[in-house]
Structure 1
Amino acid sequence: MRYHQPTRDYVNRKTKEGKGKMEIIRCLKRFIAREAYRALISIRRGRTPLNKPPAERGRRLRELCVTHGITQQQVSDALGVHSSRISEIERGTRNLPELERRATLWIQTITTPNQPNQHAETLDNV
């Protein structure tokens, strides 16, 4: 609260909202706990935050959409989220790895041609 400028700005903002020092400290502790939890979960899932920055992953999602002619609106409608979330991921301004994963999976699902049924092929050859 003394030295970290973004935290100082946060404290000033909360003070102007009428919150007391103890309540502000409680809010800061909750923020830190959420950040630590997200980091631990990503490590547990095998994804460390240092793998690729959000901007790089966002470019990958954007390239996937452009390659297959899919709009942000189509992705957001399919996933039930606002299109601004997809835009934020693509621009790298927001780190939403789970939504990014769902979007990539959806695009791959609709663009991957169906694998032919091997049983049907053997019947055709008979």
Structure 2
Amino acid sequence: EYVARKRSEGRTPRHILRCLKRFIAREIYRILTDPHPITSVEDLRPKRVALGMSMQVTANHCGVAQGTISRLERGINVNYDLARHYRTWLDQQSATITT
């Protein structure tokens, strides 16, 4: 469809290929510089505190330093994989306490 449209505009195959390469490069750059957004991390600290978990217990479970958890909770250094793991663990702890 794209190639047919460009050909109808009188573009050469070489020019069409150049346009496609530029498009791919832009998409790769966009993905590398703007990773997939995650839900905000602002809810992590209140959830942890409500469950009565210390930051050290959380850090030990996640296998990271306490400072890493602190920076994650404050949104300074957001590690998406760690945030996902942390949120899942908090949800499991919450489910355990409520049952």
Q: How high is the TM-score relative to the length of structure 2?
A: 0.58
Q: Tell me the distance in 1 between the aligned counterparts of 2:81 and 2:34.
A: 11
Aligned mate of 1:60, from 43, 47, 72: 43
Question: Is 1:92 the equivalent of 2:88?
Answer: no
Question: Is 1:36 the equivalent of 2:32?
Answer: yes
The alignment covers a number of residue pairs equal to 71
Q: Runs of 5+ in structure 1 lacking a partner?
A: 1-32, 43-48, 117-126
Shift of 1:110: 2.2
Shift of 1:60: 0.4
Cα 1:110–1:38 shift into 2, 3 Å: same
Cα 1:115–1:68 shift into 2, 3 Å: closer
Q: Tell me the distance in 1 between the aligned counterparts of 2:33 and 2:78.
A: 15
Cα 1:86–1:114 shift into 2, 3 Å: closer
Aligned mate of 1:102, from 71, 85, 90: 85
Q: Return the letter of the residue paired with 1:83.
A: Q
Query: Which residue number corresponds to residue 65 of structure 2?
Result: 82
Q: Tell me the distance in 1 between the aligned counterparts of 2:93 and 2:65.
A: 20
Greater RCO (Cα-Cα under 8 Å, separation 6 or more): 2
State the percentage of identical aligned residues. 23
Higher Rg: 2
